[in-house]
Amino acid sequence: LAGRLSGLGTTIFAEMSRLGVETGSVNLGQGFPDTDGPPEVAEAAVAAIRSGVNQYPPGIGVPELRTAIAEHQERCYGLRWDPDTEVLVTTGATEALAAALLALVEPGDEVVALEPFYDSYAAGVAMAGGRLVPVTLEQPGCVLDLDALRAAVTPRTRLLLINSPHNPTGAVLTREELAAVAALAVERDLLVMTDEVYEHLVFDGREHVPLVSFPGMRERTVSVSSAGKSYSFTGWKIGWVTGSAELVAAVRTAKQFLTYVSGAPFQPAVAAALRLGNAPLVQLRDDLQAKRDRLCTGLREVGFDVHVPAGTYFATTDIRPLGFVDGVEFCRELPRRCGVVAIPSQVFYADPARGRHLVRWAFCKRDEVLDAALERLSTLR
Interface residues with ligand GLN (CB under 6 A)?
Answer: 11, 13, 30-31, 167
Residue 194 within binding range of ligand PMP, rule CB under 6 A: no
> By the 8 A CB rule, do 48 and 269 touch?
yes
Query: CB of 168: closest distance to ligand PMP in angstroms?
Result: 8
Cα–Cα distance list, 24 to 31, 208, 295, 335 (Å): 17, 37, 20, 8
Task: Identify the residue among 226, 242, 289, 316 touching ligand PMP (CB under 6 A).
Answer: 226
- Region label for 319, one of left (φ > 0), alpha (ψ between -120 and 50) or beta (otherwise): alpha
From the CB of residue 106, how many other CB atoms can be counted at a distance below 10 Å? 10
* Closest by Cα among 4, 9, 74, 65 to 239: 65
**Phi-psi map region of 268: left, alpha, beta (phi>0 left; psi -120 to 50 alpha):** alpha
Q: Which of 73, 163, 221, 242 binds ligand PMP (CB under 6 A)?
A: 163
For residues 91 and 255, give the distance between their C-alpha atoms in angstroms, rounded to a whole number.
9
Indicate the residue among 234 and 244 with the shorter CB distance to ligand PMP: 234
List the interface residues with ligand PMP, window 102-141 (CB under 6 A).
118
Q: Which amino acid is at 61?
A: G
Question: What b/e string do you get for 237-263 counting C-beta neighbours within 10 Å, with b at 16 or more?
Answer: bbbbbbbbeebbebbbebbeeebebbb
Query: How many residues are there in the chain?
Result: 381
Are the C-beta atoms of residues 190 and 158 closer than 8 Å to each other?
Answer: yes
Q: Which does 93 bind (CB under 5 to 8 A by kind): ligand PMP, ligand GLN, none?
A: ligand PMP
Residue 92 in the binding site for ligand PMP (CB under 6 A): yes
CB of 277 to ligand PMP, least distance (A): 21
234 interacts with ligand PMP by CB under 6 A: yes
Residue whose Cβ sits closest to ligand PMP: 92
* Residue 13 touches which of ligand GLN, ligand PMP, none (Cβ within 5-8 Å per kind): ligand GLN
Tell me the residue nearest to ligand GLN as measured from the CB: 31
Nearer to ligand GLN, 70 or 343 (CB): 343
Nearest Cα to 242, choosing from 95, 118, 66?
A: 66
280 touches 231 (CB < 8 A)? yes
> Measuring CA to CA, how many Å separate 130 from each of 111, 152, 209?
7, 15, 28
Nearest residue (CB) to ligand PMP, 239 versus 268: 239
Min separation Cβ 311 and ligand GLN, Å = 13
Q: Does 167 bind ligand PMP (CB under 6 A)?
A: yes
Cα-trace Rg, the chain = 20
Give the helix/strand (H/E) hosting 158: strand 157-163
Nearer to ligand PMP, 200 or 237 (CB): 237
311 scored as a contact of ligand PMP (CB under 6 A): no
Contacted by 309, from ligand GLN, ligand PMP, none: CB < 5 to 8 Å by type: none
Site for ligand PMP in 314-373 (CB under 6 A): none
Which of ligand GLN, ligand PMP, none binds 239 (CB below 5-8 Å, type-dependent)? Answer: ligand PMP
CB-wise, 57 or 168, nearer to ligand GLN? 168
Q: State yes or no: residue 239 binds ligand PMP (CB under 6 A).
A: yes
Q: Which is nearer to ligand PMP, 13 or 77 (CB)?
A: 13
Binding interface with ligand PMP (CB under 6 A): 31, 92-94, 118, 163, 167, 195, 197, 226, 228, 234, 237, 239
